[in-house]
Amino acid sequence: MNTLLQDESLLIGSREEIQKLATKDSARILVVSDSHGAYSNLLLILRQFGVASDALVFCGDGICDISKLISNAVDEAEIKAIIPPVIGIVEGNNDADLYPVRNVLSDEPYYVQWKVPIFNVLEACGQRIFFTHGHRNSLYLGTGEIISAAKKSNCKIALYGHTHIAAEKLGEVFTINPGSCFRPRGGQKPSFAMLNLTKNIGFECIFYELSSLGSKPFFPARTF
């Protein structure tokens, strides 16, 4: 698991994998948020989509589940195999800003400390992706503050969570909320999203309703 240490960018993964993602011709970014301790739901998503994903972005409120995932992967080969090579995490209003994670650099496991930023930027296919939880961005008044923050970071895609409602909005900045994979609101089911990027062409987002029988795409009824 030595490839899943935290880089100085606060992304998780080897420098080689992070750099490779930035220049790939196409990439699939798995976007998950608000698991709130439902580790089994996170694991279900990764079992269905982890192997085919180039990165996982977790938009907060459940960093404990990401920490548990990486820690368990030390001893469980099946879990290690389904974790994407690059992970981005941000702090939600129910998260701490530091987490201990069991990891391996040699033959013996030990704990490392992850720093959890309020926001970060992931580069994929020549595009910059801003991501945050959103609890400090007046989300219930709209996505204006997140859009401004993304623009300041020179990003045209912004990912966020917090509202527990899957939503997307096209504009100068494409905003995406994958919904909550455990406690959805607005009459929605537990959900997550896949962001498909193609270099020099663009991007698309597919939302999925979480199911143990096979998650299926859906269109969010509400946007912000």
The answer, yes or no, to whether residue 46 has pLDDT greater than 90, is yes
- Quick check: is 223 in a domain? no
Q: What's the pLDDT tens digit per position in 144-178?
A: 999 999 999 999 999 999 999 999 999 999 999 99
**Looking at the 3D structure of the chain, how many domains does it have?**
1
- Quick check: is 51 in a domain? yes
- Quick check: is 4 in a domain? no
Instruction: Domain of residue 152: give its range.
Output: 15-218
CB 178 within 8 A of CB 189: no
Supply the DSSP symbol for 173: S
- Quick check: is 213 in a domain? yes
**In 3D, which of 148, 9, 206, 198 has the Cα closest to residue 89?**
9
State how far the Cα of 69 lies from the Cα of 67, in Å rounded to an integer.
5
How many helical (H) and strand (E) elements, i.e. helices and strands, does the chain have? 5, 13
Q: What's the pLDDT tens digit per position in 87-103?
A: 999 999 999 999 988 87
pTM: predicted TM-score of the whole model, two decimal places: 0.95
Q: Please report, for the domain that includes residue 139, its CATH number.
A: 3.60.21.10
- Quick check: is 9 in a domain? no
What confidence score (pLDDT) does residue 1 get? 44
- Quick check: is 224 in a domain? no
Helices 63-73 and 39-49: crossing angle, nearest 10°? Answer: 60
SS3 105: coil
What confidence score (pLDDT) does residue 32 get? 98
- Quick check: is 195 in a domain? yes
